[in-house]
Amino acid sequence: MNPSNSLASDAWSALSKNRAAWFSAIALTTMVLLVLLGPLVSPYEVDQTNWSKLAMPPSMQDGHIFGTDDLGRDLFVRTMYGGRISLMVGIVATLVSVLIGVSYGAISGFVGGKVDSIMMRIVDVLYAMPFLFFVILLMVFFGRSIFLIFVAIGAVNWLDIARIVRGQTLTIKGKEFVDAAKAGGVSTFRIIFRHIVPNLMGIVVVYVALTVPQVILVESFLSFLGLGVQEPMTSWGALVNQGARQMESSPWILLFPALFLAVTLFCFNFIGDGLRDALDPKDRTNTNE
Amino acid sequence: MTNLKFIFGRLLGAIPTLLVLICFAFFLVKSAPGGPFDFERSLPEEVEKNLREAYNLDDPLYLQLTKYVGSILTGDFGPSFQYRDYTVTELIMSGFPVSLRLGVAAIFLALILGGTIGTIAALNQNSRLDYSVMFFGMVGISIPNFVMAPLLVLIFSIALNILPAGGYANGSPLHMILPVVALALPQAAYIARLTRGSMIEVLNSNFVRTTRAQGLPLNTIIFKHVLKPTFLPVISYLGPATAAIITGSVVVEQIFGLPGLGRYFVQGALNRDYTLVMGVVIFYGLLIIGFNLIVDTVYGFIDPRIKHNR
Least confident of A118-127, B246-255, B283-292, B298-307: B298-307
pLDDT at A55: 63
Q: Taking residues A285-289, report their average pLDDT.
A: 34
Of the ranges A56-65, A149-158, B272-281, which one carries the lowest mean pLDDT score?
Answer: A56-65
Q: Which of B14, B269, B289 sits opposite A136 (nearest CB)?
A: B269
- How high is the pLDDT of residue A199? 82
CA–CA dist A79, A239 (Å, integer) = 7
- At A211, the pLDDT band (50, 70, 90 cuts) reads confident
Residue spans of alpha helices (H) in chain A: 6-16, 19-41, 75-111, 113-127, 131-141, 146-156, 158-172, 176-183, 188-190, 201-224, 236-245, 252-279
Q: What is the pLDDT averaged over residues A152-162?
A: 82
Query: For B46-73, how does the pLDDT look when each residue is reduced to its tens digit (9 = 90+)?
Result: 777 776 676 666 677 777 778 777 777 7
Average pLDDT over residues B9-38: 72
- How many angstroms away from the CA of B107 is the closest CA of chain A? 18
* pLDDT tens per residue across span B105-152: 999 999 999 888 888 888 887 788 888 888 888 888 888 888 888 888
pLDDT tens column, B144-178: 888 888 888 888 877 777 777 777 767 677 778 88
Provide the shortest C-alpha distance from residue A118 to chain B (in Å). Answer: 13
Distances (CA, A) of B256 to A79, A127, A194, B155: 25, 30, 52, 15
Higher pLDDT, A15 or A188: A188
Out of A132, A258, A269, whose CB is closest to B151? A258
Calculate helix-pair angle for B261-270, B274-302, nearest 10 degrees.
140
- Model confidence at A283: pLDDT above 50: no
pLDDT at A245: 79
State residue B109's pLDDT score: 92
Asked whether the predicted pLDDT for residue A2 surpasses 50, the reply is no
Is B147 near chain A, with CB under 8 Å? yes
Contacts of B146 in chain A (CB under 8 A): 220-221, 224, 237, 240-241, 244
Residue B36 has pLDDT above 60, yes or no: no
Buried-state track B167-185, b at ≥16 Cβ within 10 A, e below 16: ebeeeeeebbbbbbbbbbb
pLDDT in tens, B179-234: 888 888 888 888 888 888 888 888 888 888 888 888 888 778 888 778 878 888 88
Query: A55-59, A149-153, B196-200: which has the minimum mean pLDDT?
Result: A55-59
Burial classification of residue B131, based on how many CB atoms lie within 10 Å of its CB (0-12 exposed, 13-18 middle, 19 or more buried):
middle
Is B61 buried (19+), middle (13-18) or exposed (0-12) by CB count in 10 A? exposed
Across A275-281, average pLDDT: 70
Q: How far is CA A250 from the centre of its chain?
A: 30
The contacts of residue A19 (CB under 8 Å, 6+ apart) are: none
Average pLDDT of chain A to the nearest whole number:
78
Q: What is the pTM of this model?
A: 0.79
Q: How far apart are CA B303 and CA B212, in angstroms?
A: 23
The C-alpha angle A182, A117, B239, rounded to 5 degrees, equals: 130
The band of B278, judged by pLDDT with boundaries at 50, 70 and 90, is confident
Top residue of A126, A132, A133 to mutate, by most chain B CBs within 10 Å, is A133
The per-residue pLDDT for A287 is: 33
- State whether A270 and B292 contact (CB < 8 Å): no
Is the bond preceding A232 in cis, omega lying within 30 degrees of 0?
yes
- pLDDT class of B256 with cuts at 50, 70, 90: confident
Residue A288 pLDDT class (50, 70, 90 cuts): very low
Cβ of B32 under 8 Å from any chain A Cβ? yes
Contacts B34 to A, Cβ<8 Å: 141
Using alpha carbons, select from B288, B287, B194 the residue that is nearest to residue B235. B194
Binary contact (A142, B250; C-beta < 8 A): no
Between CA B278 and CA B64 the distance in angstroms is: 13
A37 and chain B in contact, CB less than 8 A: no
